[in-house]
Amino acid sequence: MSKGKNVHIKIGARILSLFFVLLFFILAGRFLYLQTAKEVDGHDLTVLAVDKWEKERTIEASRGQILDRNGESIAKDVPTYTLYAVVDENYSKNSKTPLHIVDARDAAKKLAPLLNMEVSEIERRLTPSKPNLFQVELGPKGRNINHQLMEKIKELNIPGIYFKREKKRLYPNGIFASHVIGFAQLDENGKLVGKMGIEKTFDDLLQGKDGRITYQSDRRGIKLPDPKEMIIPPENGKDVYLTIDQKIQTFLEGALNYVEKEYEPENIIGIVANAKTGEILAMGTRPSFDPNTREISNYMNEAISSRYEPGSTMKVFTLAAAIDAGVFNPNETFKSGSYRISDKVKAIRDHNRSGWGTITYLEGVQRSSNVAFAKIVNEKLGTDRFFDYLQRFHFDQKTGIDLPYEVAGNILFRYPIEKITTAFGQGTTVTPIQQIQAATAITNGGKMLKPYIIKKIVDPKTGEVIKEQNPTVVNEPIKKDTAQQVLNILETVVSSEAGTGKPYAIEGYKIAGKTGTAQIPDPKTGKYLTGHGNNIFSFLGFVPKDDPKLIVYVSVKRPKLEPTELGSAPVSYIFKTVAKNSLHYLNIAPSEKSETEKPVSKEGIQLPNVVGLPVNEAEKELEKLGLSIIKINETGKIKQQIPMPGTKVLPNEKIILKADGKMKMPDLSGWALRDVTKIAQMAHLKLNIIGSGYLNKQSIEAGSELKENDYLVVELLPPNPQEVPVEEEVKDEEIKFKNKDDEQLYQQLNGLIRD
């Protein structure tokens, strides 16, 4: 090697060394700069590092429970899981074991039996057609997985299968005070939010406040061991205790279910309240829904959000006003049937349009006479004083119960006729919860209590009671003595022979209450609906009468009734089922029976054989059993009885007796069709029926001699029909006759009544 070449090599080596030295200093300087400035192109390196390695995760607060008065859970959070599968093979890089779906077919075979899915469907979802897809879900069957199923799937050790933990709101009782409780569901951010009822009203308290955890992770986002982490714990939601009693609510739900199935009504409302505190022990409506599945046809709680003409349950408060003002004389008499307040308006009519003749005002209450209450307000109490009592009972105000969308009643008091019809529940509209509130004045010596449904709100972590409600007196509309007199009179509505409340009697207990048959306006015509069953049938009851513990309100709108069936049938079933079971559950013992009371089995009274006995002896024998005797002969021995001997009948059922001698037609006014049929069968009469319900007119006059094969034409009207608005004349319905004979007989029938 020449000397010249060595020189060039040395020069090159120096230049290269200098380059590396310069590069070192440049890199070192850059490193020192980054260490001190911690910034590149305006980006803070500390922030970038934190974003890459430090993660923050929300720790969800548990939503508070909703519980009944005894601590039984009605709504609570439960953990659920959503299954997802990672299908991107890049997720398994640098991992000793696969972290993605390796064999879609094998995974599908293992998952199919547990998820109740087809293998082909799972395989299709695990083999996505779109490129660069990182993960997939398996549809509805892969969501809302419980903990047990999640563990079973984990035991399969399928690579690429993961779970996302979520919360679900569970309502363990299903359809249970659903319009009261409401429901909560996940919003777009995956958070449970109250949408209806208590869940909505108390959403802020129930939700609580989420916490968070900050931690370091690897490049895949997996939490590093022994990390430097910061935890802010969540504040769980508060527990809301209701005044609802799970047992009593269950009694109500069962009765509502039965009536809904058997009678297919348009609507049912049931409320049970503590008569001494105003606490709502049960509240239910139909149609209802299961908050777990939320197939909802009506979002409104009809017990507080629906105002309607209450019908005769309003007479409870008209009676209370009249007694309190000192103008009600139970022994004073009046002429029932119809009543005009002036020549300018049409007559007000009783539900039995021909009335019951001259009766006392006490009997007028028992028979639910519209005329009696119209006369009380118009001639004795006065409309101005009556309006004052309506306001005292707060029928123009909301009760303020802790439920959303409550409405107030509307007292219709513009025209003279409206001021009178309000007395018997027509025109003016109220809500069921307003009637419950007003009724507490009857059970608390005149002190009216605010109904409430929230018992207390509790911090589940500390047990601290955040809020607690107690009975609140909102007004004192009547005196103590008035309240007791009202209870005494309403007890006779149920116990007396003339009372409309007889179907609501409960063996062993004294029941006070008032029936109601409300008219339903037709939005198309502006008039009231007509026809059998086209009413809202209701009952407001106080049990037991001597020291009321419960107030029970039930209404059934437009049930499908048989032609001979009363509107009280579905209402009394609910009332008696709920009241009797609740009394037993609350250990409220029956009152002692009086000496004259006869024990009646649940199956009824077995009818003895009185054939062959003299009429007077047969009559005494049957009266001992509390039966109603109808004789078509006055003398001789009994030749026939209907129902037959050995038949089981109900108390006060009509027993038809036939003896020797001439037969005479009894007065059939107000009879049910089945009893009219007994007479026709006994006397061998040809029966023609017009209309449905209860007897209003009969072609053979009471007391007339009966002959076999005579025609008996009867006109029936629905019970408590109130079919025509009080300001309209009653018009005969258009009737189609089978033949001329029937038409002539009907004309004779009308002639008898007019004469």
DSSP state of 720: S
DSSP for 132-146 reads T--EEE--GGGSSB-
DSSP for 393-408 reads TTTTS----SSTT---
- CA dist 682 and 702 (Å) reads 16
The answer to whether residues 388 and 478 touch, using CB atoms and an 8 Å cutoff, is no
**Contact partners, residue 343, CB within 8 Å, separation at least 6:** none
Q: Catalytic site residue 312?
A: yes
Q: Which CA distances in Å does 136 have to 30, 91, 102?
A: 44, 14, 14
How many alpha carbons lie under 13 Å from residue 344 in its C-beta half-sphere?
3
Q: Is the dihedral of CA 139, 141, 143, 148 positive or negative?
A: negative
Q: Is 3 left (phi over 0), alpha (psi -120 to 50) or beta?
A: alpha
- CA dist 313 and 23 (Å) reads 100
Q: Name beta bridge partners: 630.
A: 656
Q: Name beta bridge partners: 536.
A: 518, 557
Nearest to 286 by CA among 273, 303, 308: 303
The answer to whether residues 210 and 234 touch, using CB atoms and an 8 Å cutoff, is yes
What phi, psi does 718 have (nearest 5°)? Answer: -60, 150
Estimate the crossing angle of helix 104-115 against helix 147-154, to 10 degrees: 150
The answer to whether residues 580 and 252 touch, using CB atoms and an 8 Å cutoff, is no
Which H or E element spans position 112? helix 104-115
- CA dist 426 and 179 (Å) reads 27
- The β-bridge relationship of strands 161-170 and 73-86 is antiparallel
The answer to whether residues 458 and 205 touch, using CB atoms and an 8 Å cutoff, is no
Nearest to 122 by CA among 87, 147, 95: 87
Nearest to 303 by CA among 69, 579, 543, 555: 555
**Contact partners, residue 310, CB within 8 Å, separation at least 6:** 425, 429, 430, 435, 516, 518, 538
What phi, psi does 441 have (nearest 5°)? Answer: -65, -30
Q: Is 554 exposed, middle or buried (0-12, 13-18, 19+ CB in 10 A)?
A: buried
Peptide bond into 310 cis (omega under 30): no
Nearest to 136 by CA among 103, 105, 161: 161
**Contact partners, residue 601, CB within 8 Å, separation at least 6:** none
62, 288, 312, 572: the active-site residue = 312
Q: Which CA distances in Å does 444 have to 11, 427, 541?
A: 116, 28, 14
Q: Which amino acid is at 75?
A: A
Helix runs in 422-566, H state only: 432-443, 480-495
- Residues involved in catalysis: 312
